[in-house]
Structure 1
Amino acid sequence: MPPTDSVNRPVKTTEYSIRILEALKSNPGQSLTDLTEEFDIARSTIHRHLLTLEAHDLIARDGDGTFSLGLRLLDFGRRSREYVEFFDVARHHVDRLAETTGEKVWLIAKEGDHSVHLYKAHGDNPLETSAQVGQRRNLHQLAAGKSILAFLPEDELDAILDRRGLEEQTDSTITSEDVLRDELDEIRERGYAFNIGESVTGLNAIGAPIRDEDGYPVGAISISGPAHRVKDSFLTEELPDTLLAALDEIQISLRYGTNS
């Protein structure tokens, strides 16, 4: 959750509700006692928040009296995804890319300092990872995320790196800003990024941005698979050509309102 000092006058009651939702997302089935101990907030305060969230179906009470996220949140997430301008066009290309390459393909959106996994499709033999629809990730850890960083205005790139740093996900994650900036220059020149075990050990990926009419990177598509299969010319030649061709079609559809 973003630090509260990013808001001049945060509303504490709203923050408490958000913290409860975040806690139940990470660890469903928590009791009133569990949440009271975790947040060091008065039991009566936590109880009122739980009752309010339950009354609006944002959380649900399980049979043993513990709480979990409510399915109403699924409707919020589904509707928010539909508001992403490129989602409907791009997801059809994601399906095609998965069928063509046989690998897992992700569509992501940029939101603030993060990427958000919007949609996935997979081929015949995908490598399963912990990545899930709706998940938020640091941009520098992903091929798709690095492709977004490469095309951001310099001042926004500086601000994101200053706020988020370069958290290590695997031994291969780039944690040096100088190294990252050098790689972003290369990505900007060729139009796509690689991820060689930087988010998941043994997973390789390629990603390229979806850009609006002004060239701003609003999202990206990545193709990923196990390193023993996604390598050599398949990774460095075949997949880039296939991915960039799909992105060209997406850009045309978005700009001229055509259906591919």
Structure 2
Amino acid sequence: MPSEPKAVVGSEPKATVPAESEASGGRDVVGAVLKACTLLGHFSADRPTWMLNDLTVASGMNKTTVFRLMATLVQAGWVDRTEEGAYRVAMPVFEIGSAALAKLDIRSAAKPFMTELATAFGNTAYLMVPAEQGAVCIDLLEGRNSLVVAGINVGSVMPYHAAAGPTVMLAHSDALRDKWIARGLSAITDRTITDVGVLVEHLDEIREVGYSVSNSDYLPGVAAVAAPVLGRDGSVVASISVGGRAEEFEGDALAAKIEKVCDAGARITRIVQALPRG
């Protein structure tokens, strides 16, 4: 029987990067361009058009600044004005997006969101995909905290009934659920769910709320939060998660991680669903 994976806590924190290098980019960053990109970032499939006043409120910028930046984007051909005076993104934005999507896969699509999660919380971000034998970790990004999870690496195959990333995929796939439960549920730790009825109830709850939270059911002292990534047909194609010390996944800290992981899962889902077929 394989030995139980262990969580190893390092003795020294990792070196930090100066804030200027991480955030501002120094004098190389053009503020007006950055603000214009921020304004474009408010346009989405859920909100394809914006009136000036609404965009001003949403961006938190000065109204005159928003007006001038949007007028510049209109002049450049990146934004159009509707008959009602609303702004909407123009065809060049879609052409650039299509070119980017043509070379994109799920790993590269998820990487910016993994970086954002690891930076925001200092925990390790994981990307997993479903496979016949279990959930496969295809990418991970360590945060600044000193927890090293020795049992989870790129290529690791994990049981579906333990840990947040695997269980959130199991919860969103009836086919996976039927096959996996039929195999029997082995205990990885003393907190692993091994009762079929309890697991089914747990998976139903995960599916209803849209995310999974685990605590010491795969690695003692390690907790995680995961959200699903769904394909065009609603099938689960991956999960994105963050994991770390269990004490860092409580109260307000846990709520913040749930919100941000769910947002990442939803945004990656939109990207994946826009990828070209084939």
TM-score range, shorter chain: 0.5 to 0.7
Provide the rounded CA distance (Å) in 2 between the counterparts of 1:136 and 1:84. 24
1:232 Cα deviation from its structure 2 partner = 2.0
Q: 238, 255, 261: which is aligned to 1:243?
A: 261
**Aligned CA distance change for structure 1 residues 221 and 129 (closer, same or farther; 3 Å):** same
Instruction: Work out which structure has the larger RCO, using CA pairs closer than 8 Å and 6 or more positions apart in sequence.
Output: 2
SS class of match (2:247): coil
Contact 1:204/1:231, CA 8 A, preserved across alignment? no
Indicate whether 1:191 and 2:210 are aligned.
Answer: yes
Runs of 4+ in 1 over 6 A off after TM superposition: none
Provide the rounded CA distance (Å) in 2 between the counterparts of 1:240 and 1:252. 18
Cα deviations across residues 29-52 of structure 1 (Å, max 9, x unaligned)? xxxxxxxxxxxxxxxxxxxxxxxx
SS class of match (1:139): coil
1:66-105 mapped onto 2 (5 Å cutoff): 85-105=105-125
Provide the rounded CA distance (Å) in 2 between the counterparts of 1:105 and 1:191. 18
Aligned-partner residue type, residue 159 of structure 1? K
Q: 115, 118, 121: which is aligned to 2:141?
A: 121
SS class of match (1:166): coil
Provide the rounded CA distance (Å) in 2 between the counterparts of 1:156 and 1:208. 16
What's the % identity of the aligned pairs?
28
Counterpart in the other structure of 2:154: 133
1:196-235 mapped onto 2 (5 Å cutoff): 196-235=215-254
Provide the rounded CA distance (Å) in 1 between the counterparts of 2:240 and 2:221. 20
Aligned-partner residue type, residue 246 of structure 1? A
1:113 Cα deviation from its structure 2 partner = 3.7
| Unaligned residue ranges in structure 2 (runs of 5+) | 1-102
1:84 Cα deviation from its structure 2 partner = 9.8
1:37-186 mapped onto 2 (5 Å cutoff): 85-130=105-150, 131-153=152-174, 155-163=175-183, 165-186=184-205
Provide the rounded CA distance (Å) in 2 between the counterparts of 1:149 and 1:195. 14
SS class of match (2:136): strand
Provide the rounded CA distance (Å) in 2 between the counterparts of 1:96 and 1:232. 21
1:248 Cα deviation from its structure 2 partner = 1.8
1:92 Cα deviation from its structure 2 partner = 2.2
Provide the rounded CA distance (Å) in 2 between the counterparts of 1:195 and 1:187. 11
| Unaligned residue ranges in structure 1 (runs of 5+) | 1-82
Cα deviations across residues 51-98 of structure 1 (Å, max 9, x unaligned)? xxxxxxxxxxxxxxxxxxxxxxxxxxxxxxxx9941110122111110
User: So what's the TM-score if we normalise by structure 1?
Assistant: 0.63
Contact 2:240/2:264, CA 8 A, preserved across alignment? no
1:141 Cα deviation from its structure 2 partner = 1.1
Q: Once superposed, what is the RMSD of the aligned Cα atoms?
A: 1.9
Provide the rounded CA distance (Å) in 2 between the counterparts of 1:244 and 1:156. 21
Structure with higher Rg: it is: 2
**Aligned CA distance change for structure 1 residues 126 and 212 (closer, same or farther; 3 Å):** farther
SS class of match (1:228): helix
**Aligned CA distance change for structure 1 residues 84 and 179 (closer, same or farther; 3 Å):** farther
Provide the rounded CA distance (Å) in 2 between the counterparts of 1:217 and 1:118. 15
State how many pairs are aligned.
173
